[in-house]
Structure 1
Amino acid sequence: MVLQFRHFFFHGIKEKKCYSLIIPPWRKYHSTTEEKSFHHGGTIFSTRWNDLIVAYKYTNRKEEKQENSHKKHIFTLEMKHIKNTHQTHFRVMKKIYPQKWLELHPYKQTNSVDQYYVGIANEIHKRLYSSTIADAFEEEENIRYTSLCLAAWFEDVISQTGIWQAFTAECRKRYGAYLPFYPIKGDYFPDEINLEDIRFLLWHHIQYLCRGISAINPENPGIEQTAQEIYGLLAEEYETAPENERMQEFLYHSAMGEEDFFRYREILDWFHYQCYFNIENVAQCRDEAERLLDDEKITPEMAETLIYATRTSLTFKGRRNLLSLTSPEWLALIGNAHPEHQLWGKVKARENSCYLLEKEDDEFLYVKDLCSEDEGEFKITKKSLNLSAIRSREAGKSTLICELIYFGNAWWQCGMLLENKYDQKMAEYVDDLTKQKEKTNEKATFHDFIKASGGKSFVFCQSQEEISDFLLNKMGYGLKEDLDIPRIHTETGAMLMANPHTGLHIQFKLCECIKSPDNPNYNKEEAEKNAIMFIVNPDIIPYQLSCILQDEGMLPDAYLNSLQRKEYGQEFIRKNAHFLTDYFHYRCREKDFD
């Protein structure tokens, strides 16, 4: 069996490591949070990749983890200063060819407009390759990819396809400015090219390569200098650069009707996996595929089907995009300026659930969600279903486990579809899934915690006995067999906290960084070193709890190292903590925080 998509081919998978089957080889360099191995704690230092300021570094102890798996990971203090000289380790600057440009586009043949932008990409490449931040990209192919994305961004602005403009508009709505980090000197023109746009894009590409390793200061002079050189190039081309009419036609050429779901999926698939705007999604898909292939319980044939289902699901629900919005949410924002695409704003994606088939007619299956029966009836168009795979279905007896997408005036089934008879085993599955979806246990734990703490969001404990007293006596919880109360292995105690999204969380590391009258272990010096970890390292604390710490003013010492004074770094974090927390945690308050 061969499941084929544009640029994604899943043949009969035999080997567990098959990156080239899943992504174009030139994009293998992308790495994600899962690959980098986060650790609790951290070290701050000021160092350089030539002119590139590393504002915060996570010490990588992956080898130590393998050799001493029984030990907790810690960070050691490092102070590094790399000479401010350009000593790039790349041997040869390779030319960018049209085929690589096509991998960011939905068509297969180049024309004169594409050739023009390939030329722009090569000019950007020259400037990046010879810049003082070249070594930050680690490999020459990373510079080529960044150059292609910057050229595609320029094409987007020139062609008025509106992708970047939707981003800056949403930034302004959420954070109060067109872009984070950079005070706008003079006018900012959202429908034109701006120096700040290029600075942000360069930072984003470098920061992505450093996820789980370092937090990069967006204001470093190396990025600014390189952005100025690229801006100078593009400013000279701005008045004469051609619009890409094929991209305009692909996105907006005609009104989208209620039956055009598969055309919508084609656009969505391109946007999610190929568009310059989304540089992390292919890697996420690859990582999920690798996880499935590494699972010894999953056969290659099963993995092939599961990879297809995962890829489809991520297209609709993945949140590695900027601002942590899904790709359908971004298309809705992009399509706002085009009345004929108002359907984009009405697309909804439901989580995987279990549906009971109630009836059917020539066009639809009518089902109800067993995990939330109060939502009423859903009609699934048969145009989206492989009916032969569910030929044994019976109304009132069959369940369908699947994901549904609302488009037009109906629900469309996407990804994997499983049909089962509704029996006792399925009833138990539905009960477990319902609790998981409604976060029943998490919400109950939160209410118990708030009651036991007297309304406080956090409780600080100095010993295992204090933790036991709070959990077992004040909250009235019991311990499962063979389960012990977590031990405190540090002199800085522990902090207990709860949230309706996450349930109970016990924080052992970096408690000394949390400023509170109730925290006897608060240490300003240590907080200045490590409090930033609560913002830029999602492995330290759940997103919702990081937001609470920030909102209650309990991380006042957090700052990014800067060439300017410490107070400036603290003010920088204060102004940009909202964006940085969203960015590093892949979350946003609008969707993930009450």
Structure 2
Amino acid sequence: MDISKIWLLLVLAFFHMRGNRIFIQDWIAHHTYQKTNEIDSYYLRVANEINDSLSTLWFEEQETNELIHTDALKTLSIYLTCYLEDVIAKTGIFAAFRTIHTELYNQLLPFHADNDLTDYYAEDINSEDVAVLTWLFFSERNPHLFIDPRGRLIQLVTDLAYAILEEHYEVAPENEKLKLEYVLDEGANYFEVRNFIEKLVATNYLTAGEYNTNLNHLMQVAEIGRYQHDQNQLQQMIYRVRDNHFNNYRLHLYALKASEFVAAVIGKEHRLHDIVKTLGNRMNSFFEFVKTDELYVHVKHIGTKTAFKIFKDSIQQFVEPTETLSFYMEIVPWKDAWNLSGIMTVVNAEEINFDLPEQYEMTYRIEALNGKDKSLKKTEKQLKDMGKLFQSEHKAAVAFMEGKEVKEFATDFFKKYQQKYPSKEESPLPESNLDLTEDAQVTVFFNPKTGLEVFGGIAEFFPLKNNKFVEKDDQSEVPYARYFLNLLVEDFFPSELPKYYVNLFKAEVDKQFFFPLNDAVLDFFLRFYKRGTYFLGPFPLLK
């Protein structure tokens, strides 16, 4: 071969190798500190060994092969090396994941029964942990693609990565610096606790990727750049976006809020555990001013008449009103009172509206603080009775019709409900603002949390006697498992729909699915893929 061609190949190989290397700045980007030491250099070598090994992977299926592009494998290699660092330093990140799973399902890990974990030691690294982490990594970054947790991709990555992790486990150094970064002082004040939660969830390998990606997306949506000319307004907007994200965003991990995951990391024995866990439980509602004293601003929730104490020092430049005023306030629990965390603005009587989904949730939560559940039970009973009526009429929780029939169908349903369950209170029928084409094939689903919901394009998923859109003599096999996955991974569908579907066609789905879906695995999937609707409701349909 011509010497110039050999030289060219060597140069290309060098640049390919260099482009595939993980550098110290890549590693340190997954940590809370910037100054590196020899321990970071050690783990960087481990990450590169894993990356070199994983870079040999290749799959015939194009869809799978596209998942393992260079940048993904580099990040995955860092991610799995951070797991090794976590276990050795006992920072408690993966231990928290396992603790939460055990509390929810009485099993150590998803996809693995405890009686199958014969060689599993919680204080050590384990191949089963690596398999779960690998599934989480790919699934979080490809939420509309279901990845078989026991498939070849997960198995091969696990085998290759774990072999290297196991080789280093006995000799890898403990990163004391990292461990100290994830320790919360038991005497920390509100802002120190809040900053600690954000720091941990935004830097640890298990949650940082999705948390930061979503926060950056919200920053773009808010068009933060518009405020560059005014630094005060810019900082206010950045804080506003971060505050909303902190209080509202639910992780793929069990649909938890950041504060709930961090509470599991610091552990129940920590003096601030309960405070940390509830710090993301923001109340957004309408309050009436009562009085002030040396420490607190006293207000009363207008809907439930419940008294609240707000720490005065959490409200900047508060001036005591000289007349009765109502406020819309966003407050979070802190010790034995509340802190303002967001907006506090004066509202007029006509602006106060408790007939909003968000305000129903606030009412339930405030009543629960007082050991009551009257409003919640009333709503649950209404939805339960409606569900019984729907089921008796259609022999299922789904009905099928054309778009032009939906409005009349809903009106008739609510009238039948009012006749069967008469109320002393006058209640107008819900108004429909659906924009449906007349001949659309519509599936009406009775959601036990939110009532009637309308979907197009899924009638074929339900080969039932009451489905006029399905050919009764069609002998072709129904892809139940594929339909279930469609309902599961698409954000558009609420958590209750795939749950209902898999229970309706349990035998058929289990026969076609990768493995039988027990209740624990199904709930884990619902929390992961449906974190936005998993905790939604219940909301009353008739006031």
TM-score normalised by length of structure 1: 0.70
Conserved in 2, the CA contact under 8 Å of 1:516 and 1:554?
no
Q: Distance in 1 between matches of 2:413 and 2:241?
A: 43
Conserved in 1, the CA contact under 8 Å of 2:311 and 2:337?
yes
* SS in structure 2 of the partner of residue 365 of structure 1: strand
Residue number in structure 1 paired with 2:298: 366
Over 3 Å counting, the alpha-carbon distance change for 1:400 and 1:445 in structure 2 is same
Q: Distance in 2 between matches of 1:408 and 1:177?
A: 33
Q: Distance in 1 between matches of 2:117 and 2:355?
A: 57
Conserved in 2, the CA contact under 8 Å of 1:288 and 1:307?
no
Residue number in structure 1 paired with 2:445: 497
Figure out how many residues of one structure are paired with residues of the other and give that number: 484
Conserved in 1, the CA contact under 8 Å of 2:28 and 2:36?
yes
CA displacement, residues 23-73 of structure 1 (integer Å, 9 cap, x when unaligned): xxxxxxxxxxxxxxxxxxxxxxxxxxxxxxxxxxxxxxxxxxxxxxxxxxx
Matched, 1:403 2:359: no
Conserved in 2, the CA contact under 8 Å of 1:457 and 1:498?
no
1:322 to partner: Cα distance: 0.9
Over 3 Å counting, the alpha-carbon distance change for 1:574 and 1:413 in structure 2 is closer
Over 3 Å counting, the alpha-carbon distance change for 1:339 and 1:557 in structure 2 is same
Residue number in structure 1 paired with 2:423: none
Matched to 2:259, the amino acid is: P
Conserved in 1, the CA contact under 8 Å of 2:450 and 2:538?
no
1:452 to partner: Cα distance: 4.7
Over 3 Å counting, the alpha-carbon distance change for 1:241 and 1:338 in structure 2 is farther
Q: 2:156 aligns with which of 225, 240, 243?
A: 225
1:555 to partner: Cα distance: 5.2
Residue number in structure 2 paired with 1:581: 526
1:367 to partner: Cα distance: 2.0
Over 3 Å counting, the alpha-carbon distance change for 1:176 and 1:593 in structure 2 is farther
Q: Distance in 1 between matches of 2:457 and 2:382?
A: 22
Residue number in structure 2 paired with 1:461: 400
Residue number in structure 2 paired with 1:43: none
Matched, 1:554 2:505: yes
Conserved in 2, the CA contact under 8 Å of 1:367 and 1:377?
yes
1:319 to partner: Cα distance: 0.6
Q: Distance in 2 between matches of 1:190 and 1:588?
A: 32
Matched, 1:245 2:176: yes
Q: Distance in 2 between matches of 1:251 and 1:395?
A: 46
Matches within 5 A, 1:340-379: 340-344=271-275, 347-348=278-279, 349-370=281-302, 372-374=303-305, 376-379=306-309
CA displacement, residues 57-90 of structure 1 (integer Å, 9 cap, x when unaligned): xxxxxxxxxxxxxxxxxxxxxxxxxxxxxxxx97
Residue number in structure 2 paired with 1:66: none
Q: 1:543 aligns with which of 495, 506, 509?
A: 495
Q: Distance in 2 between matches of 1:385 and 1:203?
A: 44
1:315 to partner: Cα distance: 1.9
Conserved in 2, the CA contact under 8 Å of 1:203 and 1:223?
yes
Residue number in structure 2 paired with 1:108: 34
Over 3 Å counting, the alpha-carbon distance change for 1:91 and 1:592 in structure 2 is farther
Residue number in structure 2 paired with 1:180: 110
Q: Distance in 2 between matches of 1:237 and 1:540?
A: 44
CA displacement, residues 424-453 of structure 1 (integer Å, 9 cap, x when unaligned): 3433x5665635856999879846843652
1:165 to partner: Cα distance: 1.2
Q: Distance in 2 between matches of 1:531 and 1:251?
A: 43
Is there any run of 5+ residues in structure 1 with no aligned partner, and where?
A: 1-88, 560-565
Residue number in structure 1 paired with 2:9: none
Matched to 1:460, the amino acid is: A
Q: 2:253 aligns with which of 318, 322, 344?
A: 322
CA displacement, residues 323-354 of structure 1 (integer Å, 9 cap, x when unaligned): 11111111222222544443446534223223
Over 3 Å counting, the alpha-carbon distance change for 1:147 and 1:396 in structure 2 is farther
Q: Distance in 2 between matches of 1:162 and 1:580?
A: 23
Q: Distance in 1 between matches of 2:94 and 2:251?
A: 16
Residue number in structure 2 paired with 1:189: 121
1:92 to partner: Cα distance: 4.8
CA displacement, residues 210-261 of structure 1 (integer Å, 9 cap, x when unaligned): 222x21222222331221121111112112222222233233364x13x522
Over 3 Å counting, the alpha-carbon distance change for 1:581 and 1:363 in structure 2 is same
1:537 to partner: Cα distance: 2.3
Q: 2:140 aligns with which of 208, 216, 219?
A: 208
Conserved in 2, the CA contact under 8 Å of 1:335 and 1:345?
no
Residue number in structure 1 paired with 2:267: 336
Q: Distance in 2 between matches of 1:286 and 1:125?
A: 27
Structure with the larger RCO, 1 or 2 (CA within 8 Å, 6+ apart) = 1
Q: Distance in 1 between matches of 2:502 and 2:217?
A: 31
Over 3 Å counting, the alpha-carbon distance change for 1:231 and 1:382 in structure 2 is same
Conserved in 1, the CA contact under 8 Å of 2:449 and 2:536?
no
Residue number in structure 1 paired with 2:343: 417
Q: 2:196 aligns with which of 242, 249, 267?
A: 267
Which range is displaced more, 356-365 or 346-355?
A: 346-355
Over 3 Å counting, the alpha-carbon distance change for 1:228 and 1:106 in structure 2 is same
Conserved in 1, the CA contact under 8 Å of 2:252 and 2:528?
no
* SS in structure 2 of the partner of residue 498 of structure 1: strand
* SS in structure 1 of the partner of residue 344 of structure 2: strand
Over 3 Å counting, the alpha-carbon distance change for 1:130 and 1:592 in structure 2 is farther
Matched to 1:288, the amino acid is: L
1:423 to partner: Cα distance: 2.7
* SS in structure 2 of the partner of residue 205 of structure 1: helix
* SS in structure 2 of the partner of residue 418 of structure 1: strand
Over 3 Å counting, the alpha-carbon distance change for 1:309 and 1:160 in structure 2 is same
CA displacement, residues 358-412 of structure 1 (integer Å, 9 cap, x when unaligned): 2222322222233x434x222222333322xx44x51653444343222323322
Q: Distance in 1 between matches of 2:252 and 2:89?
A: 22
Residue number in structure 1 paired with 2:411: 472
Residue number in structure 2 paired with 1:526: 478
Residue number in structure 2 paired with 1:65: none
Residue number in structure 1 paired with 2:100: 170
Residue number in structure 1 paired with 2:53: 127
Is there any run of 5+ residues in structure 2 with no aligned partner, and where?
A: 1-14, 365-374, 416-427
* SS in structure 1 of the partner of residue 19 of structure 2: coil
Over 3 Å counting, the alpha-carbon distance change for 1:136 and 1:454 in structure 2 is closer
CA displacement, residues 82-128 of structure 1 (integer Å, 9 cap, x when unaligned): xxxxxxx9785343333333332222322332232222222222222
CA-atom RMSD in angstroms = 3.8
Residue number in structure 2 paired with 1:152: 82
Q: Distance in 2 between matches of 1:367 and 1:283?
A: 37
Q: Distance in 2 between matches of 1:333 and 1:588?
A: 23
Which range is displaced more, 437-446 or 245-254?
A: 437-446
Q: Distance in 1 between matches of 2:432 and 2:496?
A: 30
Matched, 1:276 2:205: yes
Q: Distance in 2 between matches of 1:482 and 1:576?
A: 37
Matched to 1:274, the amino acid is: T
Which range is displaced more, 467-476 or 193-202?
A: 467-476
Matched to 2:125, the amino acid is: I
Residue number in structure 2 paired with 1:64: none
Matches within 5 A, 1:373-388: 373-374=304-305, 376-387=306-317
Matched to 1:542, the amino acid is: P
Q: 2:461 aligns with which of 513, 525, 528?
A: 513
Which range is displaced more, 429-438 or 193-202?
A: 429-438
1:542 to partner: Cα distance: 0.8
Q: Of the two, which has the highest radius of gyration?
A: 2
Conserved in 1, the CA contact under 8 Å of 2:330 and 2:344?
no
